[in-house]
Structure 1
């Protein structure tokens, strides 16, 4: 699993969504350290996704990460190739705004800068109007859309969400999937058991007292120290085996994702 625990100033608080710590008897009960590690990872990963960067959420959603200029170049070169790359796909687009527009039925859409006369378009529903009304030409934005082909060579993406809104929704889905895994249900993506193994490894290596969850600053220091431990990879491997021996579904974890 990709190491995302970067050294950022995150105030760890108790998770506001119910975690498997409240699951029924017999299910895996994540420790306070594991719950805090999830909180820290989610915060960091949401920020990366919202900025158009590489993220666990991007892997989970199966996105194509591209700049608006790159998408335009692909379609300008070959529309068939553009459709193969983007049509019907989940796409995270980073670009600079050329214009902010109101389309049919006053539905808002953005046009990105590119070398083409007509830049890529990102279409939103009316629920986003208030936020879109505050945008300015030349502003850099990151949006999460579905590829909708091209019209007259112009790449079209719709429906779209701003990346930070999509990150919040996506991480809610990840947390629900993690809860389901802890409850003994089949994992719906390889990142779920990989994350669970990483959190258990961190908890195993955490010094006592960990400070979780009562002392956020101490808890964060404990997690950071565990992540940087020379024993972290071996601890991940053992954690994955722990879940396997417990009969939990780790089958989706690819060999290259196994902690080594």
Structure 2
């Protein structure tokens, strides 16, 4: 699946998050630009101790996109907090080597698992399940769904790399089993829906519920003050994360502490 397809169902919700943070409605245009409305400005800005400006919103959006992109590829991200990040090959090898040890690691644990599709199958009651690549094609890890998206599953192909969020369910005849699975992009959409009110709470001075909310918001504010006006982060550039990392490497810690202190004085729990 291309990155464009991954973002098709996600980018709209990401933009809504940013729009609600600033107390404005955002409408998505064909080329990804946004148009603003002042309808919600008064209600949200009165309660907020800090309101993100346009540059800060763009940095937040770029960083969130980078984190989601890493998550969908099965990599490390703040969205994967609380999940065991692994691959179907790693799981298959673990169960092949030691089922008891593998159960201790994966059984009844929430897992972000990625791999290439080996098979798209219909089981009991025509319930779909997917097998991923492992060490043995006859003992391939199985992905079973809680609420399967039939149309989406029907559009998948063998050999396609996919990422799922599941609960480990042990092994049957050494084949690793996963239950209550959902597509990673569906998990992200639900996660972002929960982030909306949490970011607003943080900007009202409440303690952030998650690392993702607190860290991304604070870094967005700090970075927007330090980035040059021609930064790729303001235009949706792919190298935003790299640019931010380089910025942090060369920015004196005293400058970051000043911004941190300012946010605390405004009442933010940073």
> What TM-score range do you get, normalising by the shorter chain?
0.7 to 0.9
Distance 1:29-1:154 versus aligned 2 partners, 3 A rule: same
Q: In the alignment, what sits opposite 1:79?
A: 99
TM-aligned CA deviation for residue 26 of structure 1: 4.4
5+ residue gaps, structure 2: 1-10, 24-43
1:78-227 mapped onto 2 (5 Å cutoff):
78-116=98-136, 117-125=138-146, 127-206=148-227, 217=235, 227=244
5+ residue gaps, structure 1: 1-10, 251-260
TM-aligned CA deviation for residue 21 of structure 1: 2.2
Distance 1:122-1:175 versus aligned 2 partners, 3 A rule: same
Q: In the alignment, what sits opposite 2:59?
A: 37
Distance 1:37 1:153 in 2: 46
TM-aligned CA deviation for residue 161 of structure 1: 1.7
Q: Secondary structure of the equivalent of 2:135?
A: coil
Deviates more, 1:161-170 or 1:104-113: 161-170
Distance 1:156-1:176 versus aligned 2 partners, 3 A rule: farther
Q: Secondary structure of the equivalent of 1:25?
A: helix
Q: In the alignment, what sits opposite 2:72?
A: 50
Q: In the alignment, what sits opposite 1:19?
A: 20
TM-aligned CA deviation for residue 96 of structure 1: 1.9
> 1:69 pairs with 57, 76, 89, which one?
89
Give per-residue Cα distances to partners, 1:213-260, cap 9 Å, x unaligned: xxx64x869x7898344327544433333333344333xxxxxxxxxx
Q: Secondary structure of the equivalent of 1:115?
A: coil
Distance 1:191-1:132 versus aligned 2 partners, 3 A rule: closer
Aligned residues: 231
Distance 1:50 1:162 in 2: 9
Q: Secondary structure of the equivalent of 1:19?
A: helix
Distance 1:143-1:196 versus aligned 2 partners, 3 A rule: same
Distance 1:65-1:129 versus aligned 2 partners, 3 A rule: same
Give per-residue Cα distances to partners, 1:77-135, cap 9 Å, x unaligned: 22332222122322111112221111222211111222243111111245411121122
Deviates more, 1:166-175 or 1:103-112: 166-175
Q: What is the TM-score with the length of structure 2 in the denominator?
A: 0.73
Q: What is the TM-score with the length of structure 1 in the denominator?
A: 0.75
Q: Secondary structure of the equivalent of 2:149?
A: helix
Please tell me whether the aligned partners of residues 202 and 232 of structure 1 are also in contact (alpha carbons under 8 angstroms): no
